[in-house]
């Protein structure tokens, strides 16, 4: 529940009164120590009462300035408003403050308290006292304005930080959605190519190999279900996957589809993984069969592999396709470690 305007104003008044009371308490303690050697020293309570009475005008000034800036925070950025406010302090506040101080002197002298008596006392004051009152008023206003400017600056910084965090969270959510969308397209693509590879084995009329292939597919699907739920898997896990299917998803299954499925002879698919410092290079290649029937496929595998690399690593990773005269090669270059922003499995 948001506090009402009256409640907020009362809190503001309480803060200022507390601050001025503490300041007067310190000043009164100094005055009490200075006059302790006198024959008849005044009590600390009497001195504190005098300090509080003398500072009533600047207390009211600080409350008024703070309330105005709280209600109109944009005034802090307007020099014309601040100058007008200071002019009002000089023209309006100073005469009233001097009359108040003169009234205290009149009452202390046990004289009749009248406006003419107070004004006569103001005119009789040393001009240095006028300067001190103006200095107190100017300093009080400057401190209040400075505190509000500092508070406003902190609020802007906090709002900027919150905004930056929200933007980063939105970007992270968007990137995660994009990654999930790519994964959703890749996994059906993997299954499609796996079934094509099994179909190629069946066409060889080798029942034993076909049954073994179906068993391997079962193991692969089990791995795909567990690994697919994670954003990152290790190269060791993928190599175990390769042992079952000869497929480093989705590059080797791409090689199988564009090699094994186009002829009945043996296939030669090469996988190279080389680590050089903090960089990892992965190459998958298969024979380029110029005379075999074409098998164009959908093109999703390589395209989305490149998309995932760009999404996860940015410019730190790249994919290169080399369609040579004798071999078709796909080469990945990426950091050997997951990015710091990676979410642990």
With respect to residue 250, please indicate whether it lies within any of the assigned structural domains. Answer: yes
252 lies in the same domain as 291: yes
Please state whether the predicted TM-score (pTM) of the whole model is above 0.95. Answer: no
- Residue listed under structure tokens 């960089």: 279
Among 298, 188, 200, CA closest to 249: 188
52 lies in the same domain as 191: no
62 lies in the same domain as 100: yes
68 lies in the same domain as 216: no
Question: Which of 146, 164, 182 finishes a domain?
Answer: 164
Question: Which of 113, 129, 164 finishes a domain?
Answer: 164
For residues 69 and 76, the answer to whether their CB atoms sit within 8 Å is: yes
Cα dihedral value 292, 297, 301, 303, nearest 10: 100
| Residue 271: domain span | 168-335
174 lies in the same domain as 158: no
253 lies in the same domain as 132: no
186 lies in the same domain as 234: yes
**Domain count along the chain:** 2
With respect to residue 341, please indicate whether it lies within any of the assigned structural domains. Answer: no
For residues 51 and 28, the answer to whether their CB atoms sit within 8 Å is: yes
Among 67, 68, 66, 74, CA closest to 156: 74
36 lies in the same domain as 15: yes
**What is the SS3 assignment for 336?**
coil
122 lies in the same domain as 149: yes
174 lies in the same domain as 150: no
What whole-number distance in Å separates Cα of residue 105 and Cα of residue 32? 20
What whole-number distance in Å separates Cα of residue 86 and Cα of residue 100? 20
Q: What does the pLDDT profile of the chain (345 residues) look like in tens digits?
A: 456 778 888 888 999 999 999 999 998 888 888 877 676 778 888 888 888 988 899 999 999 999 998 888 888 888 888 898 889 888 888 988 888 888 888 888 878 888 888 888 888 888 898 898 889 889 988 999 999 999 888 988 888 888 887 777 777 676 666 656 545 554 665 666 666 666 665 665 556 666 666 666 677 667 666 766 666 777 777 776 665 554 334 444 555 555 555 555 667 778 888 988 888 898 988 777 666 555 555 556 677 677 777 777 888 888 888 887 778 888 988 888 766 554 444
Among 251, 262, 150, 142, CA closest to 196: 262
């Amino acid at each position: 529940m948001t506090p009402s305007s009256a409640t907020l104003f009362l809190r503001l008044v309480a803060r200022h009164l507390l601050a001025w009371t503490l300041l007067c308490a310190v000043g009164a303690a100094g005055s009490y120590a200075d006059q302790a050697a006198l024959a008849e020293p005044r009590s600390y309570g009497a001195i504190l009462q005098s300090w509080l009475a003398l500072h009533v005008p600047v207390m009211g000034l600080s409350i008024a300035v703070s309330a105005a800036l709280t209600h109109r925070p944009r005034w802090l950025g307007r020099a014309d408003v601040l100058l007008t406010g200071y002019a009002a302090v000089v023209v309006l506040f100073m005469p009233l403050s001097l009359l108040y101080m003169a009234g205290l002197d009149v009452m202390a002298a046990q004289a009749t308290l009248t406006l003419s008596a107070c004004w006569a006392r103001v005119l009789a004051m040393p001009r240095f006292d006028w300067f001190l009152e103006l200095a107190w008023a100017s300093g009080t206003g400057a401190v209040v304005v400075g505190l509000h400017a500092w508070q406003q600056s902190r609020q802007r910084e906090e709002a900027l930080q919150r905004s930056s965090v929200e933007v980063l969270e939105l970007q992270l959510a968007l990137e995660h959605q994009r990654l999930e969308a790519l994964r959703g397209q890749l996994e059906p693509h993997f299954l499609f190519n796996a079934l094509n590879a099994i179909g190629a084995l069946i066409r060889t009329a080798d029942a034993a190999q076909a049954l073994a292939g179906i068993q391997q597919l079962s193991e692969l699907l089990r791995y795909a279900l567990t690994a697919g739920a994670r954003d990152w898997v290790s190269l060791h896990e993928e190599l175990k996957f390769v042992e079952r299917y000869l497929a480093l998803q989705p590059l080797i299954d791409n090689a199988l589809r564009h090699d094994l499925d186009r002829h009945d002879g043996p296939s030669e698919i090469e996988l190279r993984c080389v680590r050089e410092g903090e960089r990892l290079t992965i190459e998958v290649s298969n024979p380029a069969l110029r005379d075999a029937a074409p098998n164009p496929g959908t093109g999703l595998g390589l395209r989305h592999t490149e998309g995932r690399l760009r999404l996860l690593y940015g410019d730190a990773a790249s994919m290169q396709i080399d369609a040579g005269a004798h071999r078709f090669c796909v080469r990945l270059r990426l950091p050997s470690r997951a990015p710091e922003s990676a979410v642990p499995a």
